[in-house]
A = this chain, B = another copy of it.
Amino acid sequence: MAKNVLLIGVGGVGSIVAYGIDFTGKADISVVVRRDFEKVSKVGYELKSIDYGDIKGWKPKHIYPSVEAAAKDVPVYDFVVITTKNLPDVVKPEELAEPAITPEKTTVVLIQNGFDIGRPFIEKYPNNFCLSGVSHIGSHNNNGVVTQTQHDECLISYFINPNLAIEDQKRKAEEFISIYSNEKNAVTYFPDAKWYRYRKLVYNASLNTVCALTGVDTGRLDLAGTLESVSIPAMREVIKVAKADGVTLPADIINTVVHSDDGDWFEPSMRVDVKKGNPIELEAILGNLLRVAKELNVETPYLQILYNLLKAVQFRLKEGKGMNNLPEKRPISDKVYS
């Protein structure tokens, strides 16, 4: 029997993942889409895809305007794939997906940025599998028109759930790969989600964050001296936390990461978000890392101050989206500081 898959968050990544799953024909794929619901439920998606070619009027099996609606229609989803931006300070993904998650039955697949993002799911659903997907894809969804310019490469693994057997978790990852992997994409098993997400953090916690804060690309960050004075010390802190967490990153990782943007005036994703006025994935990246650093008693002064500064940036971005309602006159505080 075909598996029931629900995908939440049909952006540039999510639409191609959903299409990839539909393409294999091994699962019934439903999606939750809020912003473009009116349009895509009528005319479907248009794909201009480097992997799949030009496709018009593609519709997944069901298109729902909410997770609640999706949950009412299908008693049990075998997989719930979450491809939203990871903004737990705006919407907690584990609460957003809750109506569609059946305890002990639904496997959650997080194809999202961030570090240690499986933790709240495993805490909330201790007997469900929780898979990790790290996607390398260039794809944008503009009101139902998806332009995919870089191949869909996705590394699938699992966030270790201590309540379940490791071999079952591995098997579940392979099962998900079997319904998502096809001859057009490159979906592969990667044995160690934690290692890989630490690996990505070396860039994301140090270059992505600092570019977001200072408003420059990685090339200008280098020329201004801030790469060496702030980002590299921050990278060393990530490596130190990883080590205390039992994860050994490659010896030449700093050099590799710094040179990864060679030849490009490259603007990392958080910088792009700030520019567009969108909230940044601050908690999923730095917030979670700092929580782990604290548990492991690792000092991270650079990362901590970057986090504290970016909290003010996030405050501003959320206000721009109408999420903070401030009175016209600033309230007077009687707090005493010393």
Chain A residues in contact with chain B, CB under 8 A? Answer: 210, 213-216, 219-226, 228-230, 232, 252, 254-255, 258-259, 261-265, 301-302, 305, 308-316, 319, 324, 326, 329-330, 332-333, 336-338
> In the complex, which residues of chain B have a beta carbon less than 8 angstroms from the beta carbon of A337?
228, 232, 254-255, 258-259
Which residue in B215, B222, B314, B329 is a CB contact (below 8 Å) of A313?
B215
> In the complex, which residues of chain B have a beta carbon less than 8 angstroms from the beta carbon of A264?
330
A-B pairs, top 6 by smallest CB distance, nearest first, are A214-B312, A224-B315, A229-B308, A226-B312, A224-B312, A219-B330
When chains A and B are docked, how far (Å) is the Cα of A326 from the Cα of B222? 13
> In the complex, which residues of chain B have a beta carbon less than 8 angstroms from the beta carbon of A336?
255
> In the complex, which residues of chain B have a beta carbon less than 8 angstroms from the beta carbon of A215?
312-313, 316
Asked whether A329 and B263 contact (CB < 8 A) given A223-B315, A312-B226, the answer is: yes
Closest chain-B Cβ to A329's Cβ sits at a distance in Å of 7
Closest chain-B Cβ to A314's Cβ sits at a distance in Å of 7
Which residue in B216, B232, B301 is a CB contact (below 8 Å) of A301?
B301
Asked whether A230 and B330 contact (CB < 8 A) given A214-B316, A220-B315, A315-B216, the answer is: no
When chains A and B are docked, how far (Å) is the Cα of A158 from the Cα of B213? 38
When chains A and B are docked, how far (Å) is the Cα of A314 from the Cα of B316? 21
- B263 with A312: CB separation less than 8 A: no
- B232 with A312: CB separation less than 8 A: no
